[in-house]
Amino acid sequence: MTAIMLVSGVGDDPLGHAALAAIGALGLETRFVRTVADFPTGTARVDLGTDGQPSFRIVRPAAYDAVVLSRFDLDYLAAWAPGWLYSTAS
């Protein structure tokens, strides 16, 4: 199996299509990057304050909030036994 596995979601929109193409162009596996029709592709908003300091806001809800994996997908990931897993789920 590959060393890096992304589990995420993109919207069925131009930004999501571009993100999938960019992920694939980097040689990363897209098997678990779901296209989610009901949510837009996630974005981050960066604003500069009057002091020049940036502030960041993750725009939600987004497609990565609505990723659904099947039992088969979960079994596959469990068998892969990753060294670490990062989740933004609460």
Cα–Cα distance for residue pair 48/39, rounded to 1 Å? 27
What is this structure's pTM?
0.81
* Residue 56 within any structural domain of the chain: yes
Give the model's confidence band at 3: pLDDT under 50 very low, under 70 low, under 90 confident, else very high. Answer: confident
Task: List pLDDT tens digits, range 26-79.
Answer: 998 899 999 999 999 999 999 999 999 999 999 999 999 999 999 999 899 889
Give a yes or no: residue 76 inside a domain.
Answer: yes
pLDDT value at residue 2: 59
Answer yes or no: is 29 within a domain. Answer: yes
CA 78 to chain centre: 19
Per the structure, the complete domain to which residue 37 belongs is given by: 8-80
Q: How confident is the model at residue 90 (pLDDT cuts 50, 70, 90)?
A: low
Direct distance between the N- and C-terminal alpha carbons of the chain, in angstroms, rounded to an integer: 28
Specify the number of domains making up the chain.
1
Q: What is the pLDDT of residue 35?
A: 96
**H runs (alpha helix) in the chain:** 14-25, 71-80
